[in-house]
Amino acid sequence: MTDQRKAPARRRFLKFAAMVPASLGLSVSWAKAQEAMIPTSDDMEGPYYISNTPVVRNLNRFGKPGEVMRIAGQVMNAADPDVPVAGARLELWQTDGRGRYHPQESGDYSDFRDDQIDLRGTVIADSQGRFDVLSVFPAEYWPRPPHIHYWIRADGFRPLVTQHYLDTGPGTRPHRTARVLRDQRPALYPAPTFYIEPV
């Protein structure tokens, strides 16, 4: 194949250690165990996506049960992995600490009362592609390990729907899995970096 951009070999793996922001204070031994896939692989949307959720700083808008947790990560350009995607728009949705989505339905924000929409929201990345949002640890629900869903969009980039996994369990993807750092207050989920593809 002459067009390397379309070749399977384009999927590259980098040691996550090189990509972890020093500000997160992660140990090298832990980071070395992680890998990043470039571009980030997609994953199933699942049955409970709701479009046009409001922009939030805390996904837990109405105090659902669960261990409080910060999610902090970054969106980068897969064609140039050192370059952040400023202003990327991330839609997140996840379960509460008891394994329930709010609501357990799909649709559009306008289909529901505002107080039915919880543990979902839109987050806008800053000029460095970084995002930081409060939430709770999502409980697993059979047969899935704990995970967070994402739709990521940015002008000039292909939309990405994917999932991140928390702690390692069966069915997770190593390059999209990280441990919650419970020695921080609040606990921190250092989301594996997203690498999205230019159109």
3-state helix, strand, coil in the chain (%, to 5): 15, 40, 50
Q: What is the torsion angle, in degrees rounded to the nearest 10, for the CA atoms of residue 17, residue 94, residue 184 and residue 176?
A: -10
Comparison of 15 and 98: residue with beta carbon closer to Fe ion: 98
- For residue 123, give the DSSP letter: E
Q: Can residue 46 be called a binding residue for Fe ion (CB under 5 A)?
A: yes
Q: How far is the CB of 47 from Fe ion (least distance, A)?
A: 8
Q: How far is the CB of 34 from Fe ion (least distance, A)?
A: 22
Q: CB under 5 A: which stretch of 5-13, 39-47, 72-80, 110-118 binds Fe ion?
A: 39-47
State the number of binding residues for Fe ion (CB under 5 A).
1
Preceding peptide of 39 cis, ω within 30°: yes
- Residue 30 belongs to what H/E stretch? helix 28-32
Q: How far is the CB of 144 from Fe ion (least distance, A)?
A: 6
For tokens 């069966």, name the residue.
170
Comparison of 46 and 174: residue with beta carbon closer to Fe ion: 46
Q: What is the torsion angle, in degrees rounded to the nearest 10, for the CA atoms of residue 20, residue 178, residue 60 and residue 40?
A: 70
Q: CB under 5 A: which stretch of 38-46, 56-64, 76-84, 177-185 binds Fe ion?
A: 38-46
Neighbours of 124 (CB within 10 A): 11
Q: CB under 5 A: which stretch of 9-17, 19-27, 40-48, 116-124 binds Fe ion?
A: 40-48
Q: CB under 5 A: which stretch of 27-35, 43-51, 152-160, 174-182 binds Fe ion?
A: 43-51
User: Distance (Å, rounded) from C-alpha 187 to C-alpha 193?
Assistant: 18
Q: How far is the CB of 57 from Fe ion (least distance, A)?
A: 22
Q: Can residue 103 be called a binding residue for Fe ion (CB under 5 A)?
A: no
Instruction: Give the CB-nearest residue to Fe ion.
Output: 46
Comparison of 16 and 120: residue with beta carbon closer to Fe ion: 120
Comparison of 101 and 194: residue with beta carbon closer to Fe ion: 101
Closest CA to 161 of 38, 76, 44, 75: 44
Alpha-carbon separation of residue 191 from 41, 62, 114, 199 (angstroms): 14, 23, 27, 24
Q: How far is the CB of 147 from Fe ion (least distance, A)?
A: 6
Query: What residues make contact with Fe ion under the rule CB under 5 A?
Result: 46
